[in-house]
Amino acid sequence: MPEWQGAGVGTAFLNEIMQYHLEGKGRCERKYPTYFHTSHPQLCGYMRNSKKWKQVSAKLTGDNKARSIKSLQNTAKGFDNGKKTTTGGYGGHFRAVQGFKYIGNEEI
């Protein structure tokens, strides 16, 4: 574990990057908010309690994994001579994923 772990370096860096884009200093020089999804409990807690972030979504469980696998296999039919090479899918877990919008000091 790094000696600076837990000192807020990661969230300070994240906020700086988000503010950079919010002010239109990023690619295409357009002002736009950034949405960030995470399942890390401490990061979710930080963002929920920060005035710079607004929670916009929360999903407590994953989607139907069987449906996800079928969709991935259908997409893969046009590749690798139609072989079904997909063995995994998304969802089927009990991990809460939460979404946040960076608003900075005030919402645009």
Answer whether residue 1 is part of any domain: no
How many domains would you assign to the chain? 1
- What are the tens digits of pLDDT across the range 7-23? 788 899 999 999 999 99
Residue 98: φ, ψ to 5°: -120, 145
Answer whether residue 4 is part of any domain: no
Dihedral sign from CA coordinates of 84, 85, 87, 91 = negative
Q: In sequence order, which residues have a C-beta less than 8 Å from that of residue 2 and are 6 or more positions away? A: none
- What are the tens digits of pLDDT across the range 34-67? 999 998 888 999 999 999 999 999 987 766 667 7
Answer whether residue 51 is part of any domain: yes
pTM value? 0.66
Q: How far apart are CA 68 and CA 42, in angstroms?
A: 29
Answer whether residue 22 is part of any domain: yes
Q: Which helix (H) or strand (E) holds 58?
A: strand 53-59
Q: Is the pLDDT of residue 101 over 90?
A: yes
Give residue 86's domain range.
9-102
Q: In 10 A of CB 69, how many CB atoms?
A: 18
